[in-house]
Each structure stands twice: as structure tokens, then as C-alpha cells.
């Protein structure tokens, strides 16, 4: 071994190299190799960190995108549910409105039918009362020696406009003292604005057009009915306001049934009915079957009306014996509101409304 080293050393010396320098060179190469390896390792580590960061960033971006899509989907779902709820509410509202309309239509139909039936019943009651009155007259009985009541037509209307006289417009500015008769008429479409249903007993149930009266008159009639009851007198309201259109229907029906000449003997032509003023009410009593008959005047109830109506502002518009002065036959049931003062004076002086107002009939 020593021999080999010696030979190597000798070879180096012959080549002009110092054995120490060679060792240094070898060490330098080793260090460079180690440095390169370290640098490569560092570079590899740095590259690995960047890739990790990039991958993390990509992952976070993907998750964010996924969350955004999920949020968007949830919002879309919520919006769809909201629209569905709104549509369901709208459908329910439409269904409810339709049901309400159908119910209202059904109620109106039922009300119209009831009104028609009640009107028919009221007419039937009045017809029976008139038939009863006519039967007694056929037996030779009269209401009064002063002014006998002729046999009345089959309908309760007793107004008989004189069709030969000129027609004059009623003066509505007179208010409660307006005169409506054969000569003076109201516009067909006239209707008072203060109509109410008086709180009194009626001869029928329910509320009809004829249940109404002007407020001031209704208030006084309530007092009159209450006082009559306190005196042991039972009164029932039968027929109040009647529109011009209703009067037209009634009159035309009577003409179609009986002819114009006959109809004019018991039914007012449109516009000539005092009922249209809203200041009139036909009243009766159970003792005469709540009928509109001259017999009422001879009953306890009829006499109470004649003696006390003026205290409440009413007059018996077509009183006994006044036919030639009013143009109408005796109607003890037909009371007209004119106010307490005028009513008292008219009664005390034995006047008609036409005479009090100094107008013709």
C-alpha cells in the first residue's frame, strides 16, 4: 500500500501538481455539488409552495363559485315560492270575490222575489178590504148621510185626476206645503233626498219602497203611533212613498186590465200621486184587516186619527164630505204631513189643503 501511495505521489510530482492543491480542488467540487443540490432543493421547495398556494386559491375560488351558485339558486327558489304564494292569494281573492258576487246576486234575487211576494200579499190584503167595503155598500149601508161613499173600484187607489184640466207643475219650493193633486203634478223622476223608514208598526214585514217617508214627517208619525198605543189604539202603516216610475207601472197595468176610462177613476196618473211627495202615509188598523177602507173612519182607530192627527202635523187629506173640494172621495186612512201649525189651522177651520194654500184642485 505504501508503495502505491508513493508511486501516486511521485506521479503527481512529475506532473507538476502539488498533492495538497488537488485535495483542495476536490473539496471545492464537492462543496459546489452540495451547493447546487441545496439550491435545487430550495427551488423545488419554493415551487412546491407556489403550487400549493395556487391550488388553494383555485379551490377557494371554486368553493366561492359554488356558494354563489347555491345562493342564486336559493334566491330563485324563494322568488318562485313568493310568486306562487302571491298567485295563490290572487286566485283565492278572485274565488272569494266571485263567490261574494254570486252570493250577492243570489241574495238580490231572493230579495226581489220576497219583495214581489210581499207586494202581492199587500195588494191582496187591500183587495180583500175593498171587497169587504163594497159588499157592505151593496147591502145598502153608507158611510155617512152627509157624503155617502160610493162603491170603490177593486184596487185601493182612489185618486181620480181630472184629465180634462190643464197640468201645472207643483211648486216644490213650498216644501211641506207643496200641493199635488189633479191639477198640480211632480216630475216623474222626483224623489225626496231625506227618505227614511219610520220606526212604527207596519201591516207587513220587511222593507219595501212604500215603507219610506220624509224624515221630518216620519219623526212625527213615530210620536203619533206611540201616543195612540198609549191610548189603547193600534195603528199599522201600510203605504208611504211611491216613485213616479212605480206609479207609471201601476197606472199602465190598470189601463191594460180595465181600460183608461176605468183606470182614471181609481188610479192617479203618473206625477199626480201625493205619495210621491214622501209626506203621505196610508195607515190602517187590525180591526178592519189593515185594509184601506172607508170603514176605518167609523172605528175607534179612525176616530182617534181624525181627532189627534193635527197635534203631530198631519191632516186627513181627503176628509169626509170634502169630495167636491178636493176632487177625491173620503179616505180616512190617507194622512198628509204639513206641519203642526198649518195642520191645526186647517183642522180648526174645516179647510182643505187647497183652500189653505189658496190653489185649485
For residues 122 and 238, the answer to whether their CB atoms sit within 8 Å is yes
Main-chain dihedrals φ then ψ at residue 283, nearest 5 degrees: -125, 155
CB 344 within 8 A of CB 356: no
Cell of 293: 177602507
Can 274 be counted among the known catalytic residues?
no
**CA end-to-end distance (rounded Å), the chain:** 173
Give every CB contact of residue 201 below 8 A, 6+ residues apart in sequence.
225, 234, 235, 236, 237
Q: Which of 199, 201, 161 is nearest to 283 (CA)?
A: 201
Strand partners, 315: 336
* Cα dihedral 361/122/291/243 (nearest 10): -20
Set 126, 149, 157, 331: catalytic member = 331
**CB 239 within 8 Å of CB 197:** no
Write the DSSP assignment of 331-352 as a string of letters: EEEEEEE--HHHHHHHHHHT--
CA–CA separation, 319 and 48 (whole Å): 125
Q: How far is CA 19 from CA 12, 14, 227, in A?
A: 7, 11, 156
* Active site amino acids: 331
Amino acid at each position: 500500500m505504501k508503495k502505491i501511495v508513493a508511486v501516486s505521489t511521485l506521479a503527481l510530482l512529475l506532473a507538476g501538481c502539488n498533492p495538497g492543491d488537488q485535495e483542495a480542488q476536490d473539496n471545492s467540487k464537492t462543496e459546489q455539488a452540495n451547493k447546487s443540490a441545496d439550491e435545487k432543493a430550495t427551488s423545488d421547495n419554493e415551487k412546491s409552495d407556489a403550487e400549493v398556494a395556487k391550488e388553494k386559491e383555485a379551490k377557494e375560488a371554486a368553493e366561492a363559485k359554488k356558494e354563489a351558485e347555491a345562493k342564486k339558486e336559493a334566491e330563485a327558489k324563494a322568488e318562485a315560492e313568493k310568486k306562487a304564494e302571491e298567485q295563490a292569494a290572487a286566485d283565492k281573492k278572485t274565488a272569494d270575490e266571485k263567490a261574494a258576487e254570486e252570493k250577492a246576486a243570489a241574495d238580490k234575487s231572493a230579495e226581489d222575489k220576497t219583495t214581489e211576494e210581499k207586494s202581492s200579499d199587500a195588494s191582496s190584503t187591500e183587495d180583500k178590504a175593498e171587497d169587504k167595503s163594497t159588499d157592505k155598500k151593496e147591502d145598502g149601508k153608507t158611510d155617512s148621510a152627509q157624503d155617502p161613499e160610493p162603491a170603490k173600484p177593486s184596487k185601493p187607489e182612489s185618486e181620480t185626476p181630472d184629465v180634462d184640466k190643464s197640468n201645472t207643475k207643483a211648486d216644490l219650493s213650498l216644501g211641506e206645503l207643496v200641493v199635488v193633486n189633479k191639477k198640480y203634478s211632480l216630475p216623474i223622476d222626483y224623489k225626496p233626498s231625506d227618505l227614511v223608514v219610520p220606526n212604527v208598526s207596519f201591516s207587513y214585514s220587511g222593507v219595501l219602497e212604500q215603507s219610506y217617508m220624509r224624515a221630518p214627517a216620519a219623526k212625527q208619525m213615530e210620536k203619533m203611533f206611540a201616543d195612540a198605543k198609549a191610548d189603547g189604539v193600534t195603528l199599522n202603516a201600510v203605504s208611504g212613498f211611491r216613485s213616479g216610475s212605480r206609479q207609471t207601472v201601476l197606472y199602465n197595468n190598470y189601463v191594460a186590465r180595465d181600460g183608461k176610462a176605468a183606470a182614471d177613476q181609481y188610479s192617479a196618473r203618473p206625477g199626480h200621486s201625493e205619495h210621491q211627495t214622501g209626506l203621505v202615509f196610508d195607515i190602517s188598523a187590525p180591526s178592519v184587516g189593515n185594509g184601506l177602507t172607508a170603514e176605518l173612519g167609523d172605528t175607534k182607530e179612525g176616530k182617534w186619527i181624525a181627532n189627534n192627527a193635527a197635534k203631530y202635523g198631519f191632516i186627513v187629506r181627503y176628509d169626509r164630505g170634502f169630495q167636491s173640494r178636493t176632487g177625491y172621495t173620503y179616505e180616512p186612512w190617507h194622512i198628509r204631513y204639513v206641519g203642526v201649525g198649518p195642520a191645526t189651522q186647517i183642522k180648526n177651520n174645516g179647510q182643505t189643503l187647497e183652500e189653505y194654500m189658496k190653489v185649485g184642485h
